[in-house]
Structure 1
Amino acid sequence: MRLRTQGAALAVLSALSSQAFANDEVLKLTADPANWAKQEGDYANTRYSKLDQINTSNVRDLRVAWTFSTGVLRGHEGSPLVIGSMMYIHTPFPNNLFALNLDDENKIVWRYNPKQDASVIGIMCCDTVNRGLAYADGRIFLHQADNAVVALDAKTGKEVWKAQNGDAKKGEAGTMAPIVIKDKVIIGISGAEFGVQGHVTAYDTATGKRAWRGYSVGPDDQILFDPEKTLSLGKPVGKDSSIKTWTGDQWKIGGGTVWGWFSYDPDLNLVYYGTANPSTWNPAQRAGPDGKQIDQKWTMSIIARNPDTGVAAWAYQMTPFDEWDYDGVNEMILAEHKINGKTHKTLVHFDRNGFGYTIDRANGELLVAKPYDPDLNWSSGVEMDKSKPNYGRPTVVASKSTFLGGPDVNTKNICPAALGFKDQQPAAFSPLTGLYYVPINNVCMDYEPFKVSYTPGQPYVGATLSMFPPEGTSNTGHVIAWDAVKGEIVYSHDERFSVWSGVLTTAGGLFCHGTLEGYFKCRDQKDGKELFKHRMPSGSIGNVFTYEHGGKQFIGAYSGVGGWAGIGLAAGLDKPTDGLGAVGNYAGLSDFTALGGSLTLYSLP
């Protein structure tokens, strides 16, 4: 435990010493725990706060300090930002922003109400969510639903520049929180369910001019892979590493979108993120010309890029030839761990496919790949023997393959469901314990592919899904503590519904999260014991955050049920297979919560 804790501390100190390689203001602001200056807490995506005024001995005394209604329904993901005495609040579509002065009774200093075509709602597959804002150099950066990347003056809310990141008519949409690295703001794109070609793009923070764009699939000059220098599991990817794993021009509508979270290592000067599913969800339509499986790189992958040029240093595909919609977009958490006697700068990733990965983030070496939920049944494991030709690949259980069964065959009881044992709701790391605290969707599915035609701007899914809890249980959620060195669950606590809220860890020994039915909870990091619980106005899919103002620590989260898990409530759907299969699994949610949109902050008396 001591080695893990010391390693994590060294990683944090190393990041803070590398100011020449990152945005200086962002580093300075995130080093001060009084701020919550990034959606992820820091560049390493640890979601850990050094604040300890609220701790395991007094958290039971928390009281509601204040609340704020956003005036918007639908799912509220992400969290506000706090920079000094200012708080910046965002909403789902229409992506309204509020700047609040914490020194003046939370007075609204400015509002930003973008004018967007409401038709964009129709191409947002899993609710009209937005995962939050970025701040740097006196500006607020927003990625709107209609794909506009906007820079606003943080003091006045006035638009400084606007860049168009995608085309809604093709099914592209904006849901992701940007990241600012040096003089660039970097953002991805949503829309794999509409057959778009996913990409990540960097814009100049001062002018909005595009600096580079790296696609997930396509020719080397589009994906910005160097055939000789870009590595995958220690070997050069070679020429045409992506298009040679597609049939014909399928890659042009191949998906691999990017809508989760970025992290960044200033020492290595690498930005990390994951790519989403290939299009369509019907694997038979993506098979090779001989009717056999084909990898379809670089969907379902972790990619490390140089933020200055966009060129990829390494990539690792977690789920080749995806048959289950196991998007790889979940966060990458950066720390240091000693594994097999060697200290590694690691990247820890809890993939939707149910495996928890520990990877050397310098070169992409696979160190650990183990299930973080015992109900995983679509694969018997990931091959870890480097001498084997299938090294790094999951071994698929034939009875859970939606491809081997063929089109129009309903493959039963696949675990996890398409929304994964964890979706984009971020986990957190604590240097106090060296453990990771993970929100879990305890959900399985039946999956029936069908033939679908591609039309720009129209759904390109090609599968009908039904979701349900694993056999023998009625709860659809857990929270767990995870040992990323051993690849083991340290402990697990059940929740009635999936935990679709991002976790926060603090120096007070706490980890806190929201619940889908609307509770705000804080637990002891050591054993997960529930120490505080309070009901918020609506179900929470927001990420818990904390800050200090006036000498007092505040902690809180958005409530506003929605997202994929809450799409039935958010969009008024009631057919069990609606919402890409989620509605039936969460039918009972309406007995506990209703739509809302608010922020709740807690503090000690």
Structure 2
Amino acid sequence: MTRQDLNRIAKGKCGTFPGTFGQPCSGRRGAVRRDAVRRAPAGLLRVLVAWLMASLSLSSAHAQVTFERLLNSAKEPQNWMTYSGDYSGKRFSTLDQVNITNARTLVAKWVYQTGTTGKLETTPLVVDGSMYGTAQDDRAFALDARSGRPLWMYQRQIPADIRPCCGRVNRGLAILGDKVFLGTLDAHVVALDAKTGNVVWDVVAADYRTGHSVTVAPLAVKGLIVIGISGGEYGVRGFIDAYDAATGERKWRLYTVPGPGEPGHDSWEGDSWKYGGAPAWNTGTFDPVTNQIFWPTGNPSPSNRGEGRAGDNLYSNSLLALNADTGKLNWYFQFTKHDEHDWDATQVPVMIDTSGRHWIAQANRNGFFYVIDRATGKLVSATEYGKTTWSDTKDAEGRPVAKKEASPTLEGHTVCPGALGTTNFMAPTYDPQTGLFYVTARDQCDIFSTAPQPYEAGHAYYGSAYFPSEDARPYLGFLKAIDPATGNIKWKFQHTSPTWSGVLSTAGGLVFSGNAEGNFIAFDAASGKPLWHFQMGGAVYAAPMAFAIDGKEYLAIAAGSAVYAFGLP
């Protein structure tokens, strides 16, 4: 509850206390307040006073989240201040109070129902005792991270004719200064006051009527808010934007499909670049040493038909290294050239430093695990980590090369992995203690067919159809631990079905993930042995995170339409 809410209630204006204090304000000014004081038992009054003081403390204790705090987030393990926990993308927490010896005693501490329907893909942020998250239909909220009690809620009024391809989802917020930042389904970027949820500024990134949207969790770098656009299923021309955090002014834009006269433009046939796709719908990472933002891009459009867009189709399905100040492209690495299977490369890139080597790693949707030198963009290795049939050779750089017969046909034939990929948007994690990279993986093959389709602005633009191959059953889901130095799979845990959860690792020797059946599971990071699970009653499409308050460690994850927090008894 904010100071404004308390003042409103104290003045006798309409409002209610949450929870057990649900008596609405009514009658003459202040009457309910004074009557309640006269009638209430002393113990109840003490509880009420303590609750009100906690509310005031929460509303005033929030410190400015400076760029320096984000840079030095390792010094604040109690907070989770970016989508991946820090700029590296590791999604690793140095908290170790919950560990392999006591994880089996974890209990649910609180549950927050978002009040929306449909899946949640958000990773909440926690700063100084407050939690910030998002839900379906561009709902943002702030909670008391101790109890899950709501502090404020923002609900965007979304146009009725929006056209998101893959659910009305949002993956989270960024925080900088005294504001949190939200991308929206109608392709806006919005700054909200972190204490109140009030709109500070609201700018248009693109026209939602042509299929653009923003579902990504923004990345706050220096004084900029960086976002990528969604809409590759509608033939948008992808881009990455940076906005001034204070004013909302756009500072730079990099189109992920180069125009005439730009390097890479000749990788597109005719005018196909105008609706070439390459969206940037998942969050990147930032290297402060080189001042580079690493951002992944998605499929070319149409996603499953290569005719009419001959060439490599740069910079689709690529990892881009950008100057953080200007957006200038320093280097790129393309994972799948001339993609015809919807294998977006939008998986979170993870920065790894080991034995004097500075890598960036990605478990790609196409079934290969890539390690890249992050200074040069040169490929270090590419190893298969899931079931693949589309490639059996590599080029001179070591990059897998697609077989001609893997292309979709009019009749259709089976290719592995399927269009959903060996992994997808599910956030991975890297544990520097074990030296292992953990990722949700799936084995599913699809039958891909193709047919001519003209581009029409604002309409789906696939150029094909695909559906699961019955010959490739059973469809399997895994959590896999990969050694980046060798590409070897150290261990794997098989779920009962393909799953969509992200992954978290902690200094307690644990890896946390969820599954499609609604379980939240703790694993031994070294062996993959399941140590504990909790049934949340809703499928998991989000990634977990960790935080601490008053010296107590918590784990949080979204499942179904709720956010859950867990801790030791």
**Residue type at the aligned position of 1:97:** A
For 1:586, the equivalent position in structure 2 comes to: none
> Matches of residues 163-242 of structure 1 in structure 2 within 5 Å?
163-219=203-259, 240-242=262-264
Query: In 2, are the aligned partners of 1:86 and 1:102 still within 8 Å (CA)?
Result: yes
- Inter-partner Cα distance in structure 2 for 1:333 and 1:106: 30
- Inter-partner Cα distance in structure 2 for 1:30 and 1:431: 13
> Matches of residues 68-467 of structure 1 in structure 2 within 5 Å?
68-93=112-137, 95-102=138-145, 105-120=147-162, 123-219=163-259, 240-288=262-310, 294-338=311-355, 343-373=356-386, 375-383=387-395, 385=396, 391-402=397-408, 405=409, 408-412=410-414, 414-467=415-468
SS of the equivalent of 1:118 reads: coil
Residue 108 of structure 1 deviates from its aligned partner by 2.1
Deviations 1:455-503 (A, max 9, x none): 11111111111125884x6242011100111111111111122231110
Residue 537 of structure 1 deviates from its aligned partner by 2.2
CA 1:133–1:433: 2 relative to 1, 3 Å: same
SS of the equivalent of 1:25 reads: helix
- Inter-partner Cα distance in structure 2 for 1:462 and 1:552: 52
Query: In 1, are the aligned partners of 2:122 and 2:542 still within 8 Å (CA)?
Result: yes
Deviations 1:43-65 (A, max 9, x none): 00000001111100110011111
- Inter-partner Cα distance in structure 1 for 2:454 and 2:322: 33
Residue 451 of structure 1 deviates from its aligned partner by 1.1
- Inter-partner Cα distance in structure 2 for 1:505 and 1:135: 22
SS of the equivalent of 1:546 reads: strand
SS of the equivalent of 1:555 reads: strand
Query: In 1, are the aligned partners of 2:124 and 2:173 still within 8 Å (CA)?
Result: yes
For 1:568, the equivalent position in structure 2 comes to: none
Gaps of 5+ in 2: 1-65
- Inter-partner Cα distance in structure 2 for 1:549 and 1:161: 31
Count of aligned residue pairs for this structure pair: 504
**Residue type at the aligned position of 2:360:** L
CA 1:345–1:156: 2 relative to 1, 3 Å: same
SS of the equivalent of 2:136 reads: coil
Query: In 1, are the aligned partners of 2:73 and 2:86 still within 8 Å (CA)?
Result: no
Residue 395 of structure 1 deviates from its aligned partner by 2.1
Deviations 1:361-420 (A, max 9, x none): 0110110111111x211111433x4xxxxx354222333222xx4xx22022x1111111
Residue 556 of structure 1 deviates from its aligned partner by 2.3
Query: In 2, are the aligned partners of 1:444 and 1:468 still within 8 Å (CA)?
Result: yes
1:67 matched to 2:68? The reply is no
SS of the equivalent of 1:26 reads: helix
- Inter-partner Cα distance in structure 2 for 1:522 and 1:107: 26
User: Which deviates further from its counterpart, 491-500 or 433-442?
Assistant: 491-500
Residue 331 of structure 1 deviates from its aligned partner by 0.7
For 2:46, the equivalent position in structure 1 comes to: none
Query: In 2, are the aligned partners of 1:39 and 1:80 still within 8 Å (CA)?
Result: yes
Residue 77 of structure 1 deviates from its aligned partner by 0.4
- Inter-partner Cα distance in structure 1 for 2:133 and 2:309: 45
SS of the equivalent of 1:119 reads: coil
- Inter-partner Cα distance in structure 2 for 1:240 and 1:98: 42
Query: In 2, are the aligned partners of 1:435 and 1:483 still within 8 Å (CA)?
Result: yes
Deviations 1:74-94 (A, max 9, x none): 12002111101111121021x
Superposition CA RMSD, Å: 1.6
For 2:563, the equivalent position in structure 1 comes to: 599
User: Which deviates further from its counterpart, 420-429 or 392-401?
Assistant: 392-401
- Inter-partner Cα distance in structure 1 for 2:145 and 2:522: 24
- Inter-partner Cα distance in structure 1 for 2:88 and 2:309: 37
Residue 149 of structure 1 deviates from its aligned partner by 0.5
- Inter-partner Cα distance in structure 2 for 1:457 and 1:528: 45
SS of the equivalent of 2:236 reads: coil
Deviations 1:338-370 (A, max 9, x none): 4xxxx3210001111111110010110110111
CA 1:522–1:127: 2 relative to 1, 3 Å: same
**Residue type at the aligned position of 1:541:** Y
**Residue type at the aligned position of 1:401:** S
For 1:3, the equivalent position in structure 2 comes to: none
- Inter-partner Cα distance in structure 2 for 1:90 and 1:467: 31
- Choose the corresponding residue for 1:52, options 88, 96, 105: 96
Indicate the structure whose relative CO is greater, using CA pairs within 8 Å and at least 6 residues apart: 1
- Inter-partner Cα distance in structure 1 for 2:543 and 2:142: 19
- Inter-partner Cα distance in structure 1 for 2:198 and 2:91: 30
- Highest CA radius of gyration, 1 or 2? 2
**Residue type at the aligned position of 1:101:** D
Query: In 2, are the aligned partners of 1:219 and 1:240 still within 8 Å (CA)?
Result: yes
Query: In 2, are the aligned partners of 1:518 and 1:536 still within 8 Å (CA)?
Result: yes
Query: In 1, are the aligned partners of 2:304 and 2:339 still within 8 Å (CA)?
Result: no
- Inter-partner Cα distance in structure 2 for 1:474 and 1:39: 33
**Residue type at the aligned position of 1:188:** G
User: Which deviates further from its counterpart, 363-372 or 239-248?
Assistant: 239-248
Residue 287 of structure 1 deviates from its aligned partner by 4.4
- Inter-partner Cα distance in structure 1 for 2:446 and 2:417: 7
TM-score after normalising by structure 2: 0.86
Query: In 2, are the aligned partners of 1:263 and 1:271 still within 8 Å (CA)?
Result: yes
For 2:37, the equivalent position in structure 1 comes to: none
- Inter-partner Cα distance in structure 2 for 1:102 and 1:322: 43
Query: In 2, are the aligned partners of 1:30 and 1:38 still within 8 Å (CA)?
Result: no
**Residue type at the aligned position of 1:27:** L
Query: In 1, are the aligned partners of 2:126 and 2:145 still within 8 Å (CA)?
Result: no
**Residue type at the aligned position of 2:388:** L
**Residue type at the aligned position of 1:274:** P
Residue 319 of structure 1 deviates from its aligned partner by 0.7
- Inter-partner Cα distance in structure 1 for 2:370 and 2:277: 23
Query: In 2, are the aligned partners of 1:475 and 1:494 still within 8 Å (CA)?
Result: no
**Residue type at the aligned position of 2:400:** P
Deviations 1:258-296 (A, max 9, x none): 0012101000100001111111134343344xxxxx211
- Inter-partner Cα distance in structure 1 for 2:307 and 2:385: 31
**Residue type at the aligned position of 1:286:** G
Gaps of 5+ in 1: 1-21, 221-238, 289-293, 386-390, 561-596
CA 1:423–1:173: 2 relative to 1, 3 Å: same
